[in-house]
Structure 1
Amino acid sequence: MVAELSAEFPDLTISKVRFLESKGLVTPERRPSGYRVFSHEDVERLRYVLTAQRDRFWPLEVIKDALDAIDRGLTPAGPVEAPMPTVPEIAASDAVDSLLAHPGTTLRLTARELCRSAGIEAGTLDGLQGYGLVRPDDLGHYDEDDLAVARAAGQLAAFGIEARHLRAFRTAADRELALVEQVRGPAARRSGEDDPTAAILGACLSLHAALVRGGLTR
């Protein structure tokens, strides 16, 4: 691993790698024998650390914060460039395609980052969480879906619609999910498909859109 990076960082030594490991900046796999195994991701992470030290003169704490931001799908801040990590732009897509697609990022946001990215106040986030519209993980992080909910709630707030008014969306979503769970097993056996979830969800969303559109035109 040192040999792989030595051309780019001639002063790199095993002792320095061990030091960076002790600071939690790189965490290679440890075999039962104690032998360290550095994956490609570990090497790239180490390259990022060494480059930040050499070219940007970042202290280790700043580098550690930057790595944490990267691990959570954010664009890291630096000591001068930006005061906080920023959320990458997520391209908008058709509602059905967006729902059926696999998650595009591993985004994990703190409450502060979510509020800033969605343009909402902490009190609004508290309301969304209280009504089950956003659901942080065990570490208190929010994902890309939570961000989408918070952004939509922020837009609706401009029309006087508060978090308490949005409880019906949570209830409706839970009922749709329960319906999907109820029918997808038998549907798979009838159709021979591995997993008909995408088709069922697509039909549910199409039905929802048609009902709303029909209600608006009557």
Structure 2
Amino acid sequence: MLQTPSGGAGHGTTAADSGLMSIGTVLHALRDEFPDITISKIRFLEAEGLVEPRRTPAGYRKFSAGDVERLGQVLRIQRDHYLPLKAIREHLDAVERGEAVRLPSLGRPRDGEFPEVTDEGPTAARLGRDELLAAAGIESGDLEEWESYGLIAPLPDGAYDAEAVTVAALVTELGRFGIEPRHLRVMKAAADREAGLVDQVVAPLRRHRNPQTRAHAEERTNELAGLTVRLHAALVRTALGVRLP
């Protein structure tokens, strides 16, 4: 449950505004559950219509406890269901209207739920091409272009894994900043090299005859993947001279 400390209300504010929070206070409230959240991310979600904070006469944002809770819901759905922002906005708006709606069961397993591990490896959510287009909110031509650059690739049987929805959503968001899919080939190449490094570490475990050891290989893969992602993000921020607030 998100903590929503009051803050951002200085001397001279009205009683109606005393419970509103500055964007910095909102950042603090969200960071325990979402360590990677930034002020830029909050502003981006506002620009996409996911939250509508009040504005002071001077133009400063003031968030209510309800705004913070909605931001938490948006970030949680992104993390757990890999949905594009448009789908998240439509879902939350429907919930606020009192409609009985359910999220698609895509994405990472929830806490306490683990994929079944077999000799062939863990099972995962699979989507057909039309399902991927619908979940990501993209056109067939977009997917074909992204596949041509290697950003998304179907499985041998032509289906897609749930991670393809995440990639599609992120490529779409980057596109709003003018970053085209062809610009992302360097990121794909870097990801392939990082994956190769992780694979070198876990390959002996995957080839082991003991099923429990093979299962441990998947846990180690997830752990190493998380560490490489965090390192990559830190190195990019360092190269850009960006400091998190």
Give the TM-score category using the shorter length. Answer: 0.3 to 0.5
Task: Determine which structure has the larger helix proportion and give its number.
Answer: 1
TM-score under structure 1 length normalisation: 0.45
Larger Rg: 1
TM-score under structure 2 length normalisation: 0.41
Higher RCO, Cα 8 Å, sep 6+? 2
